[in-house]
Amino acid sequence: MPIFIPFMGCKSRCIYCNQYAISGVTSANDIIASVQAQMARWRATATRWDELAFYGGTFGQLPVALRHKLYELAMPLPIRYSTCPESITPELAAEMTQNNVSTVELGVQSLSERVLRLNGRNYSVNDVSQAFSLIPAGIKKACQLMVGMYGESQADVALTAAGLAALKPDYIRIYPTLILKNTELEAYFKDGRFAPLPASEILLRAAWLYIHGETSSSRVIRIGLPPEADDSEMIAGGWWHPACGELVRTLVIESWLRINVKPEIDFHPLLYGYKATLKERFAKLSLREAPAHGIMKPITANLRAHYSAEPAKWFSEQGNIAFAKQLGTLQ
Ligand code: SF4
């Protein structure tokens, strides 16, 4: 049951963030009343819920009394919340085990100090490692990442990808940066300080994180904003696609095929539905029809090993670039 507490607990505003735009939940004077109203709406749609999740703010920096009120409201459901790395303290970690917290999603976004600073994130890469190590065993740790952030280079993405193995998150979400209205990033966009990356570059960067995410004892459970974001009139710029994850996986699979079986590289828009259209090619490679996740583990491991000596090659290979460009034009 996703409950949005927009900007609650945030000590400052990250330059790209507008939680009101993403969640559709407006600012609430009475946060408890807002949470209760959201819970009532969800409960009217289903009787069984496995977990209650607080998104859209910095749960770990809410006043202690408010956190406890929210734990009470969620009972008996296990709780998942998103928070920023610097909010994880030994006290908060103890509170997790005492209050039925099942999952903590850390808004890491990047493991480049420079990119974090430029985007208004108030923690260091070291704080991220410490946060991951403080979360008690038995509580799932998720890592939220972004690509195409202000000031980000391919080298920064390579740095983030390389750092994932040490964090060992249970799962990962990857979000391409969008320019949302009423953000500092929108101002940068308007005055020319920020130009959003083209689709092909976003896909290449997201794919590189995906390859490392899948091979770092974790699963990548989401790439891109949920499809509802399409309805938002709050997007001022940046590339967005409702099937961003499918495009990234298609790019990864095609790169792997190119390296391993040297197929004729022809652009095939139907690769978008890769699970069905690549079935025959997988069969020839002795890969049985398997859930997408099962297929992607060996593929990403192979690509990671292939490019490990030269990560920059992933971004400069003409085949990858051309194919990413073609994918980026799919509607
Ligand atoms: S990105 Fe997270 S920490 Fe930054 S302003 Fe938005 S909700 Fe708060």
Among 197, 212, 238, identify where a domain stops.
238
Residue 225 sits in the same domain as residue 317: no
Residue 18 sits in the same domain as residue 124: yes
Which residues line the pocket of ligand 1, CB cutoff 6 A?
7, 10, 13-14, 17, 19, 56-58, 84, 107
- Domain of 120: which CATH number? 3.20.20.70
Q: Which residue, 128, 124, 256, 144, is CA-closest to 209?
A: 144
Choose which residue among 8, 10, 23 to substitute to test ligand 1 binding: the one with the highest number of ligand atoms within 8 A of its C-beta. 10
**165 CA distance to ligand 1 middle (Å):** 24
Residue 189 sits in the same domain as residue 271: no
Residue 74 sits in the same domain as residue 191: yes
Residue 171 sits in the same domain as residue 210: yes
d(CA 24, CA 27): 10
| Residue 109 belongs to a domain | yes
Q: Which domain holds residue 135?
A: 2-238
Among 170, 204, 238, identify where a domain stops.
238
**324 CA distance to ligand 1 middle (Å):** 30
Q: Which residue, 114, 128, 123, is CA-closest to 166?
A: 128
Of the pLDDT bands very low, low, confident and very high (cuts 50, 70, 90), residue 266 is very low
Cα dist. 164→110, 158, 270, 276 in Å?
10, 10, 32, 31
Which ligand 1 atom minimizes the distance to the CA of 56?
A: 7
pLDDT digits (tens, 9 = 90+) for 52-73: 999 999 999 999 999 999 999 9
**307 CA distance to ligand 1 middle (Å):** 33
The total number of residues shown for the chain amounts to: 331
Asked whether the beta carbons of 49 and 78 are under 8 A apart, the reply is no
Residue 227 sits in the same domain as residue 253: no
Which ligand 1 atom minimizes the distance to the CA of 10?
A: 8
pLDDT digits (tens, 9 = 90+) for 108-158: 999 999 999 999 999 999 999 999 999 999 999 999 999 999 999 999 999
| Residue 243 belongs to a domain | no
Residue 264 sits in the same domain as residue 225: no
* Residue ID of nearest Cα to ligand 1 atom 4: 14
Q: Please state the pTM of the whole predicted model.
A: 0.89
